[in-house]
Amino acid sequence: MKKFFLLTFLLLLSVFICLGAGTALASNGDIKSASVDVNLTNQNPDAARPGEPVELTLSVQNVGNADLKDITVTVNSEYPFNKVSGEELTKKVSYLNARQDDDDAAVLKFKLMTDANASEGTYDIDITTTAKESGPSSNTVTTTKTIQLEVRGKEYAQIVTINQANIDIAKEEPLEFIITNTGNSPLKNMVVSWKDPKGVILPVYSDNTKYIKYLEPDNSVTVSYSVMADVNANPGLYTLDVNLTFEDYESNEKSIQTTAGLFVGGETDFDVSFSESDQGEISLSVANVGNNMAYSVKVSVPDQEGYRVSGSSSTIVGNLEKGDYTIASFNIASTQEDGKNTYSSSNVKLDDNNVTSMDSEPLKVQIEYTDAKGERITVDKEVKLEMTAGNMTEQGRGGPGNKSSGFGSYFVYVVLIAVAGGIFVSRKKIQEKLHARKEKHSGNKNPENPKV
C-alpha cells in the first residue's frame, strides 16, 4: 500500500515538473502557443552596393499553436541603410493560421538604399514583428530577429589628371595619367591604354598600354608615357581616347572609356644674324628656326647702352612659317666711341680689302610673335654687328660744341670731288688750247699749206 502511494506521488510530481518546465520554456520563447518566424529568403543584389538600392524578400510564418491576426513587420533601417523615398518600412499581414508550412508563409518585400560612402563589410538589421492571437485572449506577440546584409565596395576608377595640356611638334614630351580608385573596393589587373584617332600623337619607346596589378580605394597611381607629335601636324586641339579596364569582386571585367584633349603646337625659336650695313642703316636677317608658325612677328631694338636708334625702333614683318626668314632694317648708330667707351687700337681690325672695322658690343634685339594658341611671346636675342669704323660713328648727332652730322661729312666729300673734277676739266681745256696753238704755228711754215 505504501508503495502504491509512493508511486502515485512520484507520478504527480513528474506531471507538475513537466508543466513547470513547459511554462518556463514558453516564457523563454522556445515553446509558445503563438509564434512568428521571419526569414530572409532573397536579397537583390546578392551583396549591397554603395549608393545603390537593395531589395529584401522576407518570409513571415506562424509556427505557433494559435492563429494570429493584425501582423505588422517592420524593418529597422540603420547605417549604412536608409529608407527609399516612396517605400514603406512597415507592412501588414491580416491573418496567419497556426502551424503553417513553408508554402503557406506570407511573403513581404522591402527596399533599402545603401549609403554611398559605405565601407565593405557585413551589417546587422533588426526586423520586428507584432501580432495578436485570434481568440478570446487576444494576447499580443512581439518578436525581433536580426539578419545580416553584406555590403560590397564599389569598384570604380577615374582618370583625375593629365600632366600635359599641350605638346610641341616633333619634340619628345612626357605624358602622365594619374588614375585614382574612387570606389570602395580594391581594383585588380587594371589595363590603361589610349589612342589618337588621327594618328598625330604617338608613344615612343613603348606601346600605348600600361598595366596596374592592384590599387587600393582612395589611392592613386601615375602612368607615364613618352610621346611625340608628327612634324607635319597642324597646330590645334587633338582628342585622346582613353580606355581603362579592371576586374571586379567576382573577377568580371569592367571597362571605363573617357576622352582627354591635348593641344599640339607651341612656341618657336628664331635666329637673328647681321646682314649688311650702309651709311648707318643696319639690316638684320630674322629666321624662324622652330617647328611652329609665328604670327604677327614684330622685330624691335630696345633702348640699350652703346647704340642709338634714329627713327622707328620696331618693325612688323608679318607671319613667318617654320624655315622662313625676313629682313628687318634699322637706322642704328654706335655711341661706344663717346665718353666712357673710347676704342683702343686693339679694337680696330683690317679685313682682306684693308677696310677698317671695329669690335663692338652685341646689339640686343627683341622678337614678339603670336603662337598657335593665341598667346603673345617675346624672345630676346643678341647680334654681333660687323661695321666699318666710318659707320660706327653716331649718325645724325647734334648739340652744343658739335654741329657736324653724317650728311655734312658726306656733303664735304661731294664738294671736294666736284672741285677736283672742275680743276681736272679746266686743266684739260688749257692743255687743249696750248696744243691747238702749237699746231697753228707749225702749220704756217709748211710749204704745202695752201694758205701760204
Query: In this structure, what C-alpha cell is assigned to residue 228?
Result: 611625340
Class of domain 33-151: mainly beta
CA–CA gap between residue 34 and residue 64 (Å, rounded): 4
User: Residues 287-291: contacts with CB within 8 Å, 24+ apart?
Assistant: 287/320, 287/323, 287/324, 287/325, 288/320, 288/321, 288/322, 288/323, 288/324, 288/325, 289/322, 289/323, 290/322, 291/168, 291/169, 291/170, 291/171, 291/231, 291/322
Given 3.30.420.40, 2.60.40.10, 3.40.50.720, 3.40.50.2300, which CATH number is that of 157-264? Answer: 2.60.40.10
CA count, 13 A, side-chain hemisphere, 398: 8
Taking a C-beta distance cutoff of 8 angstroms, is the pair 320, 286 a contact?
A: yes
Classify residue 118 by its DSSP letter. Answer: P
- Report the candidate in 393, 423, 421 with the shortest Cα–Cα distance to residue 408: 393
Q: Per-residue b/e over 172-201, b at no fewer than 16 CB within 10 Å?
A: ebebebebbbebbbbbeebebebebeeebb
Confidence (pLDDT) at 288: 96
* Alpha carbons 179 and 223: distance in angstroms, whole number: 8
DSSP 48: B
Q: Which amino acid appears at position 445 of this protein? A: K
Structure pTM?
0.52
Task: Say if CB 55 and CB 113 are below 8 A apart.
Answer: no
Q: Please give the full DSSP string across 312-371, using - where no structure is assigned.
A: -SEEEEEEE-TT-EEEEEEEEEE-TTSTT----GGGEEE-TT--EEE--PPEEEEEEEE-
CATH of domain 270-392: 2.60.40
Residue 174 is predicted with a pLDDT of: 93
Cα–Cα dist 452/436, whole Å = 19
Question: How far, CA to CA in Å, does 301 sit from each of 7, 44, 317, 325, 340?
Answer: 133, 77, 14, 18, 22
Confidence at residue 177, expressed as pLDDT on a 0 to 100 scale = 92
Q: Are the CB atoms for 387 and 360 separated by under 8 Å?
A: yes
Query: What is the reported pLDDT for 140?
Result: 87
Please tell me the distance from the alpha carbon of residue 319 to that of residue 325, in angstroms, as a whole number. 10
Mean pLDDT by 10 residues, the chain (452 residues): 55 52 39 75 89 92 88 92 93 89 88 88 92 81 91 75 84 91 83 94 93 89 94 91 84 85 90 86 93 94 92 94 94 71 43 52 95 92 76 40 40 56 60 60 48 38
* CATH 2.60.40.10 domain range(s) in the chain: 33-151, 157-264
Contacts of 248 (CB under 8 A, 6+ apart): 155, 185, 254
Helix (H) or strand (E) holding 93: strand 90-96
Residue 219 CA to residue 158 CA, distance in Å, equals 11
